[in-house]
Amino acid sequence: MTTLAPQAVVRLGTRPSPMAMEQTGRFAQAFHACHPQLTLDIRKITSEGDAHRGPLSQIGGKGAFTRRADTHLLDGRVDATIACAKDLPGSHDRAPGTAVAAVLPREDVRDVLVLPVGHQPVTLAELPPGTRVGTSAPRRAALLASLFPQLVPVPIRGNADSRLDRLDHGRLGADVMIAALAGLRRLGFADRAGEVLDPTLWLPATGAGIIVVEHRADDTVTGGLLAPLTHPATRILLDAERAVLAELAGGCLTAASAHATLDDTGRVIVRAAVLDPAGGPSVRAEASGSTEHAAEIGRRTARALLNAGALRLLAVTHE
């Protein structure tokens, strides 16, 4: 009698940034707890987005963070890749053949104001007009333009830890900056979080606070090993939010927000918005329904946005 040899090693591709390595380390713990007999071989893959210091729009937008990892995955150089859901581009520029294998429990979705070390505590509303606020995300720039038009968004690049260092040394080109609370916590810099921005006004990023592991869609062995690591409620939220983005055909360069939550009765509620980069009124929509239809509820929310005139704003952001 023969027994099937279990796959002894899973090769996992990760970006090499400190934040990526922290989340990969946390995933590795969960993986070993689930599969003590297996080895996780962590392979660092530097993305074009990490290597390129100029604006992301020059290298095809957000796909720059996933393209190379997708290639390594599809070539079979790794069995799986790990990424922040927020950094995944819209499905239209994902490599066909990759699929989500595991979704880790959602962390905080909120953004925070970060001040240079030693700065007296202030809120965004209290900052003097003309204060330069570092952020490269179109969503954050559009939120600043609409909620705090007296402040000046300035683009910043680089890893979160290097941004903090440059902010403190006056070398960021910005007086303050916006960051994700979940990201600061991962880096051990939770104490650098200033004002925590209200997510009903300062709309969260699609997929904020969610880490996903992807595999080749036809690799059922790896898929089967990773599936038990999925947090089912987070998977529902992610499916709903990603469906909004897919239906809008938008990626990182789109100033949009989709935020799904579960209510007490177990229904999923999707609130989404397409923002005006110039600070004008956003287009908003909401839909809810059974968690079994999470993606369809996301698509319905997106169609409501389009019916309400979101295309005009999307056309602007895609230029």
Distance CA 148, CA 125 (A): 7
Q: Could you confirm whether 41 is annotated as catalytic?
A: no
**Position 274 contacts ligand PBG (CB under 6 A):** no
**Position 82 contacts ligand PBG (CB under 6 A):** no
Q: Which residue has the tokens 């790896």?
A: 222
Count of beta carbons in the 10 Å neighbourhood of residue 298: 29
- Of 87, 108, 111, 219, which one is the catalytic site residue? 87
Ranges of beta strands (E only) in the chain are 9-14, 39-44, 80-84, 98-103, 111-114, 132-134, 152-154, 176-180, 211-216, 256-262, 267-274, 283-290
- Interface pick for ligand PBG out of 133, 160, 272, 274 (rule CB under 6 A): 160
Count of beta carbons in the 10 Å neighbourhood of residue 295: 18
Q: Which residue has the tokens 């994902």?
A: 94
CB of 311 to ligand PBG, least distance (A): 25
CB closer to ligand PBG, 13 vs 225: 13
CB closer to ligand PBG, 61 vs 183: 183
CB of 159 to ligand PBG, least distance (A): 9
Count of beta carbons in the 10 Å neighbourhood of residue 167: 24
CB closer to ligand PBG, 115 vs 304: 115
CB closer to ligand PBG, 53 vs 315: 53
**Position 180 contacts ligand PBG (CB under 6 A):** yes
Looking at residue 298, its amino acid is: G
**Position 87 contacts ligand PBG (CB under 6 A):** yes
**Position 183 contacts ligand PBG (CB under 6 A):** yes
Give, as one character, the DSSP assignment of residue 207. Answer: T
Strands of the sheet with 80-84, listed across from one edge: 39-44, 9-14, 80-84, 211-216, 98-103
**Position 174 contacts ligand PBG (CB under 6 A):** no
CB closer to ligand PBG, 208 vs 248: 208
- Interface pick for ligand PBG out of 20, 151, 179, 197 (rule CB under 6 A): 179
Contact positions vs ligand PBG (CB under 6 A): 84, 86-87, 160, 179-180, 182-183, 208-209
Please identify every residue annotated as catalytic.
87
